[in-house]
Each structure stands twice: as C-alpha cells, then as structure tokens.
Amino acid sequence: MKSPVRYILPLLLLMTMACRKDLPQLNDPQNYVNANFNEVFDGFWTGMNNNYVFWDIDTVNWDQVYRTYKPLFAKLNVNDSNDVRKAYTYFKQMTSGLVDSHYDISFADTWLADSNSVNPAYQRKIASPGFHPPISIFHFYDTIPRHYLDAGRRGFTNTPDKQYVAVSGTINQNILYLFFNGFNLKTLFNTDTINGVKRVEQYFFDALANRTDLKGIIIDVRGNGGGSLDDLNFLLGKMITQPLHFGYTRSKLGNGRLDYSPWAPAYVSPQAGSKAVTVPIVMLADAWSVSMAEMTTMAVKALPNGHFVGERTWGANGPLTGNKFYNGGQFSTGWLKLVYTSSLMFKYKDGNIYEGTGFPPDMAVPYNPAALKAGRDLQLEAALSLIH
C-alpha cells in the first residue's frame, strides 16, 4: 500500500524563510557508489545526518544508529536477494522512531518491487490502538449531498497522478460547506479547461463573495492527504483582508546536524478582492488529514472566528521542496531511489511543534462507523452545532 502522505509541498513566498547558502555538500549521499552495503549505509547515514531537519526534537540517537547498524550492513552482500531483504528490514528498524511524519524511503532495487516503501508514520498509525480506516470518498460525494446539503455542486477531475473530488453547497440554507480530497485547487481553478472541481470551486467562491446572509463556513479536509502549499493563500486568502500570522518555519543553514536558521514568521496573505469573513469558520479534520490539510486547519484556528472539530490530525507539518533550495530535505543515493523528508520545520504560533503528534481539535468527535453506515455524520453535526 502506498503511503497517503506522498504529496510534495512546493515552496511558497508567503513564508519568509532563510535561503540556502552556496555551500558544498560534504560527502554528498549521491556520490556514494553503492557497490556494497557499507557504501549504501554510509550514504544513507550521512544524508540523514546532514539533511534531516528534526534532530533537535527527535528522540532517535543517530550516532547510536551508526554504531549498531554499520557492522550489520557490513555483513550483507548487495548481490544476494536475501541480504537485500535484510537491509530493507534494517531500514525499517533504523527509521521506525523518526518524528518526521512525511518520511518515506523508496528503493531502486528491483528485488524490493513487491515490498512497501519504508514509512514510519504510516506503520505507527496502523498499529495504534485508535486506528481506523479513512472515511470513504463516497460518503462525501454521495451521502453528505443527499442527507445534509440543500443545494450545490459536486465534481471530480482526473490528473495523471490523482483523482480530485470536491463538493460544495449550503446546509440549513445559510451555512456554506466545502469538501475536497487534495490540495490542487489553484492549479485546477486556473486551467483553461472547465472541470468538475473548478465548477465546485466557482460555486463556493461566488457564494463567499456575494452572499450576505451566511451564518458560517465549514471546510472539510477529512481524509485529505495534502498537496500544493499555493492553496493556503488561494483559499484562505479570500477570507482575510490582513496578513494572518499562524506560525514559524526554520531550515538548515549548513551540513551540521544542529546548524539551523532562526525561526521566521509564516503568514497567509490576503488575495485581490478578498473580504474579511467574521462568521464562524469551522475546519473538519481527522486522523487522515495530512500536511496541507493540517496547515490549513492550523491557519483557520489562528483566526478569532476559527474552530476545529474532529480528530487529532496526522502530524506531518514540515513543508517540503527540493533540497536545491535549502540545506536539508529529500535526497537519494544509488540504491535509495528517494529519501522523502521535510525541508523545513514548522512551529505553530502557540510555540508548540506538532510534528509526529498531530494538531488537536477544539471539539473532539471520534470516528463512528455505525453512524456513518446509517448515513449520519456526527463530526459534521458537531461542526454545525458551533454555528448559530
């Protein structure tokens, strides 16, 4: 099963972040030949030592990892399929406790084609006592429109990488609802071709701009795996007229494990023609709300009229981009196709870092499979209860 968090967050200028120094990458992991498992291990360990951005909060002792696993890898033969599978097991063990919840390793070796990528957060999620599957997309596309919406639009758009689904409408005539399953709103809206998601967005934005009788707005990102950071301004920037400070970011300044930039403030910027929304804005998010779904929830919560209903989110908050922009983030070696890891650390405006733990709701409403089967959405009903 592929990880639900494999969505890259591109760089956005709304965050004032330190730029990459023009420094050489010492012992660049891509320069390791990977002719034997000594080099495979050294390339990986060095890449993590230099590029991983969470070492000051992570509980994994990276020096102890070297002492433990260096001799184990030295015993393996890179041309032996059984040893390759042992190496895969070692990679799972080495990374199982990493706090970065975007973290994922994919392998170039064809012998591992039938194996899952190494994804510590996903493994922890399915092993947790409160684990539940994501809510079915048909609940949002079919059940909510039939049981809760007065009128509105729904649609989907297929891209080479993903099917995007969106639903919008009113509840009780004057509560505006929006659901979408992935953050690619700006790109889909600005395409020349009319598509299903674009029609839904247009409905939502028209109601937002023109209706004066709205009592509240519900933005539903349950099961949303994240996507483009551009959507933060594109969506929430239409609801504010002043920059919204909601947190801080920092990057690596160089190759030192703890060589960090200062914390820099992160903002959502108002968009042209925006208006200040003063009625309640309620985010609906759950344990499968990842990355940009979490960042958007955090930004709404920073508003005086913002609320969050549902479950604690996934816990992958660090933005990602190619490491040519920063001295940290994703890298590859000859044997490791991609080590997918955050480029920046994010801290919420309350001073807390929610990486690995998830962002907590104001009003906790647990997943209820029996109610969902019966066509009821208790989390949505709780969100409605906050709007009077």
Q: Is 31 left (phi over 0), alpha (psi -120 to 50) or beta?
A: alpha
Decide: pTM greater than 0.85: yes
3-state secondary structure the chain: CCCCCCCCCCCCCCECCCCCCCCCCCCCHHHCCCCCHHHHHHHHHHHHHHHCCCCCCCCCCHHHHHHHHHHHHHCCCCCCHHHHHHHHHHHHHHHCCCCCCCCEEEECCHHHCCCCCECHHHHHHHHCCCCCCCCCHHHHHHHHHHHCCCEEEEEEEECCCCEEEEEEEEECCCEEEEEECCECHHHHHCCCCCCHHHHHHHHHHHHHHHCCCCCEEEEECCCCCCECCHHHHHHHHHHCCCCEEEEEEECECCCCCCCECCCEEEEECCCCCCCCCCCCEEEEECCCCCCHHHHHHHHHHCCCCEEEEECCCCCCCCCCCCCCCCCCCCECCCCEEEEECCCCEEEECCCCCCCCCCCCCCEECCCCHHHHHCCCCHHHHHHHHCCC
Query: How far from 34 is each of 72, 185, 336, 337, CA to CA, in Å?
Result: 16, 41, 9, 12
Contacts (Cβ under 8 Å, ≥6 apart) of 95 = 103, 105, 118, 120
Output the pLDDT for position 111: 57
Contact 30, 333 (CB under 8 A): yes
* Per-residue pLDDT, 364: 98
In this prediction, residue 147 carries a pLDDT of 97
274-313, pLDDT tens digit by residue? 999 999 999 999 999 999 999 999 999 999 999 999 999 9
pLDDT number for residue 262: 95
What does the block give as tokens for 286? 């759950």
> Alpha-carbon Rg of the chain, whole angstroms?
22
Per-residue pLDDT of the chain (388 residues; tens, 9 = 90+): 333 433 333 333 333 333 333 334 445 655 555 678 999 999 999 999 999 999 999 999 999 999 999 999 999 998 888 998 899 999 999 999 999 999 999 987 655 655 668 999 999 999 998 899 999 999 999 999 999 999 899 999 999 989 999 999 999 999 999 999 999 999 999 999 899 999 999 999 999 999 999 999 999 999 999 999 999 999 999 999 999 999 999 999 888 899 999 999 999 999 998 999 999 999 999 999 999 999 999 999 999 999 999 999 999 998 876 555 566 788 888 788 899 999 999 999 999 999 999 999 999 999 999 999 999 999 999 999 999 8
pLDDT of 36 reads 87
Cβ atoms 181, 140 nearer than 8 A: yes
The pLDDT of residue 112 is 63
For residue 20 the two structure tokens come to 């990459």
pLDDT at 109: 66
As a residue count, the chain comes to 388
Quick check: 218 and 383 in contact, CB under 8 A? yes
Exposure on the CB side of residue 35, measured as CA atoms within 13 A:
1
How far is residue 251's CA from residue 254's CA, in Å, rounded to a whole number?
9
